[in-house]
Amino acid sequence: MTLMTTTPPGTTGRGVIARYRTHLPVTDATPIVSLGEGSTPLIPCPRLSAIVGRGCEVFVKYEGLNPTCSFKDRGMTLAVSKAVERGIHAVVCASTGNTSASAAAYAARAGIRCAVILPAGKIASGKLVQAYAYGAKVVAIDGNFDDALRVVRELGQRPDFAIVNSINPDRIAGQKTAAFEIVEELGDAPDLHLLPVGNAGNITAYWAGYCEYAELGEATKRPAMLGFQAAGSAPIFRGQIVEQPETIASAIRIGNPASWDGATAAIRDSAGAIDNVTDDEILAAQQWLASNEGIFVEPASAASIAGLLKCADPRREPAYHFSDIAEGSRIVCTATGHGLKDPDAVRFTSGPTVTANLDEVMRAIDV
């Protein structure tokens, strides 16, 4: 297969490597494999802000608008570009779905092969269809994500494969660019940053990005990092490996996160917290965000919104209570993936079919 790259070295344009080249481990010799990822909207959310109150402003960083509809593309552009630079012809990953979709797309773009190892029966349909459509070799294993990652680590010992999970530092480097974008858009770092935590690469990456921009003087402060795990898959919150993780939020159904230490450091050094939210809270938050702010996210992404609602509720006892935060605080929640990735998670019943006349339709609309 011929290797195809999209952007000649040194060329500016869309995509996180083009935008943040000097902050990333690329040289003129790196062939840039990009689909124009990044530069996602930071959406002000007036209704969420009103819930938090006291003049606080809540924003959602909508990462579902990346090329494969999740934040993984930020790291994948770099991981695949670096793999191609090293002359590797195949990438491999374990995944709960989004990493596999992203790896498959960027491998297709580069003209290299991609193998994805997935927990059988546990991948949301929108993500699985992506891996097939982009032409990846899909292998389902009888086990969970943690088992799949163990196999992938073994595969990665072979010289012909590059692992593109977030244990690959290039993934983390690419993902930190989301923090850069937020600082640039707000003119400074936010006071609080909330995000879902699964394998814990993203919280590690955001913290690295915020620290880098603070050290460079691009930001005057660093946010408190608040991570949220699903209650049935909350190893970091509980302080122990979960052998049989369970949650409707299949993207974060992970019992032994690879970047556990990175998450712990981010939470500790930012004076943040790790908490957990139930599946019911996740689904309620998902529906609330879609119907009140017009932002449709997958269940894992809604964990950050469920977390925000928990932190802002005076009747609850979250790990981090908003009653103590400064007036006018700026709060960012990352919405990591698009809602269409997991259509089965949304419970809906279509209304009755009526005759095609105005009266019947008016009656059915009931407004």
Nearer to ligand F0G, 62 or 213 (CB): 62
- Measured between alpha carbons, how far is 302 from 256 in angstroms, rounded to an integer? 21
Nearer to ligand F0G, 287 or 321 (CB): 287
Nearer to ligand F0G, 30 or 229 (CB): 229
User: Which residues have C-beta within 8 Å of that of residue 62, sequence separation ≥ 6?
Assistant: 40, 41, 42, 43, 295, 297, 335
- Containing H/E element for 330? strand 330-335
- Measured between alpha carbons, how far is 195 from 307 in angstroms, rounded to an integer? 8
CB 82 to ligand F0G: min, Å: 19
Nearer to ligand F0G, 77 or 98 (CB): 98
Exposure string (b/e) for 252-290, b if CB count within 10 Å is 16 or more?
bbbbbbbbbebbbbbbeebebbbbbbebebbbbbbbbbe
Give CA angle at 111 (105, 115), nearest 5°. Answer: 60
CB 88 to ligand F0G: min, Å: 20
CB 311 to ligand F0G: min, Å: 18
Nearer to ligand F0G, 57 or 146 (CB): 146
CB 359 to ligand F0G: min, Å: 44
What proportions of the chain, in percent to the nearest 5, are helix, strand and coil? 45, 15, 40
Residues that bind ligand F0G (CB under 6 A): 70, 72, 95-99, 166, 196-202, 251-252, 298, 300-301, 336-337
User: Which residues have C-beta within 8 Å of that of residue 172, sequence separation ≥ 6?
Assistant: 75, 166, 201, 204, 205, 208, 259, 262
Query: Position 21: which residue type?
Result: R
Nearer to ligand F0G, 196 or 318 (CB): 196
Phi first, then psi: what are they for 344, rounded to 5°? -70, -15
CB 300 to ligand F0G: min, Å: 4
CB 167 to ligand F0G: min, Å: 11
Question: And the tokens for 124?
Answer: 């949301």
Task: Kindly list the distances between the CA atom of residue 78 and the CA atoms of 5, 73, 233, 331, in Å, as whole numbers in the listed order.
Answer: 12, 9, 29, 28
Nearer to ligand F0G, 209 or 337 (CB): 337
Local structure of 188: helix, strand or coil: coil
CB 70 to ligand F0G: min, Å: 5
CB 29 to ligand F0G: min, Å: 29
Nearer to ligand F0G, 62 or 180 (CB): 62
CB 50 to ligand F0G: min, Å: 26
**98-110 vs 72-85: helix axis angle to the nearest 10?**
40
- The greatest distance separating any two alpha carbons of the chain, rounded to the nearest whole angstrom, comes to 69
Burial class (CB in 10 A: 0-12, 13-18, 19+), 86: exposed
Nearer to ligand F0G, 34 or 336 (CB): 336
